[in-house]
């Protein structure tokens, strides 16, 4: 499986600067790079100074709007050429989105594209937020909010220009309290931290104290008891049916009645559910099931109420 890391961030956040620095590190030079530039004239190839063979510039539009299917084809073509020895081997793919990209459709492609899921593995989403104007950007641009909401890690860039980042950190935490935040000047950051595979286990604590920012709602469901698998299936369908694209992300760790003692990790981006991943055991002493949902303009108690109603009905039907 070829690991894929997504590097995103709003216009001017410093994605290319960071990527350039990372690729200068010998340990990370063996990365294939896909850059989605929003414009007719590709610049990033020159800026990054990586080899032609393992660099793909996608300039026909914003990847989340136009290139979703092309992204899968590009990754598969790179993998085919690598296997055939036509290009140098590479250990991973780093995908830099355009600054205006909504990452959700990109994640859809990476975890749902036929043929891709057998060869590639989405490891993480790293989001850059520029320290000087980041708060205003988050306040005014839904794309920037979504980039933060979907992040596994957040990097504050240009902190030398705006040393006081407390308000910005609060704004980021309101959107995504679980993503660790660090800062980096001129791309100086340990790539092993930035691109490490995202944690599967969901820690509910950060979400319990989550604030809601305008239009964005976070819901958390904590459970002591296992859940019937059918209830989980019907609930996910109902969420997709009624919330549609406003449901941005679902992450969870739950125990199913049919699989006692082996919790399943649940990941979904909008209506696309990643295959459940069975863990051999609970990752910690905390054996509560927990599901975190991030959405736009969703009543915070709605997911839990919906799940409770469906679960009771499934249990009732089973008993009958």
Partner 1 sequence: MDQPQDPRRDPRGGRALTPPELRDLVADTLAVWEVAARPVIADGAVVLVAPDGTALRITAAAPNDLPIRWWLEKPDQKRPCTSVTGLLRSLRNAVGAGEGMFSRVKVARGA
- Cα distance between residue 245 and residue 233, in whole Å: 18
Least separation in angstroms between residue 26's CB and partner 1 is 30
Does the footprint of partner 1 cover residue 317 (CB under 8 A)?
yes
From candidates 21, 92, 274, 290, binder to partner 1 by CB under 8 A: 274
Distances (CA, A) of 38 to 41, 63, 243: 9, 8, 30
Q: Work out whether 141 is an interface residue with partner 1 (CB under 8 A).
A: no
Residues 149 and 178: beta-carbon distance below 8 Å: no
Contact call for residues 129 and 13 (beta carbons, < 8 A): yes
Residue 279 interacts with partner 1 (CB under 8 A): yes or no: no
319 binds partner 1 (CB under 8 A): yes
Q: Which is nearer to partner 1, 11 or 309 (CB)?
A: 309
Q: What are phi and psi of 95, to 5 degrees?
A: -115, 115
What distance separates the 2 farthest-apart alpha carbons in the chain?
Answer: 67
- What is the Cα–Cα distance from 299 to 304, expressed in whole angstroms? 10
Q: If binding is defined by CB under 8 A, does position 246 make contact with partner 1?
A: yes
Does 305 contact partner 1 by CB under 8 A? yes
Asked if 301 is part of the footprint of partner 1 (rule: CB under 8 A), the reply reads: yes
Q: Based on CB atoms, which residue is closest to partner 1, 33 or 298?
A: 298
Strand 120-130 with 2-9, pairing: parallel
Q: Does 76 bind partner 1 (CB under 8 A)?
A: no
Of these, 121, 141, 223, 287, which contacts partner 1 (CB under 8 A)? 121
Give the DSSP per-residue string, 109-166. HHHHSTTTTTTEEEEEEEEEEETTTHHHHHHH-HHHHHHHHT-SEEEEE-TTT----H
Please tell me whether residue 230 binds partner 1 under the rule CB under 8 A.
no
Q: Which residues of 207-236 are buried (b: 16+ CB within 10 A; e: fewer)?
A: beebeebeebbbbbbebeebbbbbbbebbb
Return the range that interacts with partner 1 (CB under 8 A); candidates 12-20, 82-90, 92-100, 108-116: 108-116
For residue 25, the minimal CB distance to partner 1 (Å) is 29
Tokens of 225: 């008891």
**Can residue 245 be called a binding residue for partner 1 (CB under 8 A)?**
yes
x-marked contacts with partner 1 along 179-218 as a string, rule CB under 8 A: ----------------------------------------
Q: Which long-range contacts (CB under 8 A, 24 or more apart) does 41-47 make?
A: 44/16, 44/96, 47/16, 47/20
Closest distance between partner 1 and the C-beta of residue 273, in Å? 5
Least Cβ distance, residue 14 to partner 1 (angstroms): 31
243 lines the binding site for partner 1 (CB under 8 A): yes
224 binds partner 1 (CB under 8 A): no
Binding of residue 117 to partner 1 (CB under 8 A): yes
Question: Which one of 37-45, 107-115, 182-190, 278-286 is the stretch in contact with partner 1 (CB under 8 A)?
Answer: 107-115
Please report, for residues 135, 142, 206, 218, the alpha-carbon distance to residue 296 in angstroms, rounded to integers and kept in the order given: 19, 10, 19, 9
Nearest to 315 by CA among 217, 225, 195: 225
> β-strands 2-9, 247-254: how paired?
unpaired
Give 135 or 231: the residue with its C-beta nearer to partner 1.
Answer: 231
Minimum distance of partner 1 from residue 241's CB (angstroms): 6
Token couple for 247? 């449901």
Q: List contacts with partner 1 (CB under 8 A).
A: 1, 111-112, 114, 117-118, 121, 234, 236-246, 268, 270-275, 297-299, 301-302, 305-306, 308-310, 312-320
């Amino acid at each position: 499986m070829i690991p894929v890391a997504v590097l995103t961030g709003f216009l001017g956040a410093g994605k290319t600067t960071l990527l350039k620095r990372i690729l200068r590190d010998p340990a990370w030079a063996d990365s294939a790079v896909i850059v989605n530039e929003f414009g007719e004239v590709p610049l990033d190839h020159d800026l990054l100074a990586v080899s032609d063979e393992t660099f793909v510039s996608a300039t026909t539009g914003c990847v989340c709007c136009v290139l979703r299917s092309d992204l899968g084809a590009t990754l598969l073509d790179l993998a085919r050429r690598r296997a055939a020895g036509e290009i140098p081997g590479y250990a991973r793919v780093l995908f830099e989105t355009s600054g205006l990209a909504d990452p959700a459709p990109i994640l859809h492609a990476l975890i749902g594209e036929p043929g891709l899921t057998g060869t590639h593995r989405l490891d993480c989403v790293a989001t850059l937020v520029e320290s000087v104007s980041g708060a205003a950007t988050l306040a005014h641009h839904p794309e920037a909010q979504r980039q933060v909401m979907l992040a596994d890690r957040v990097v504050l860039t240009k902190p030398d220009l705006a040393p006081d980042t407390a308000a910005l950190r609060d704004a980021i935490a309101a959107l995504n309290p679980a993503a660790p935040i660090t800062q980096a000047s001129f791309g100086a950051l340990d790539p092993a931290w930035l691109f490490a595979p995202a944690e599967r286990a969901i820690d509910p604590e950060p979400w319990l104290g989550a604030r809601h920012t305008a239009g964005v709602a976070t819901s958390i469901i904590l459970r002591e008891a296992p859940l019937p698998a059918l209830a989980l299936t019907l609930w996910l369908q109902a969420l997709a049916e009624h919330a549609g694209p406003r449901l941005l992300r679902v992450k969870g760790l739950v125990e199913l009645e049919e699989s006692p003692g082996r919790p399943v990790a649940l990941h979904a981006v909008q209506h696309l559910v990643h295959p459940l991943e069975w863990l051999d055991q609970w990752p910690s002493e905390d054996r509560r099931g927990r599901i975190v949902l991030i959405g736009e303009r969703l009543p915070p108690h709605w997911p839990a109420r919906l799940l409770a109603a469906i679960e009771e009905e499934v249990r009732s039907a089973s008993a009958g």
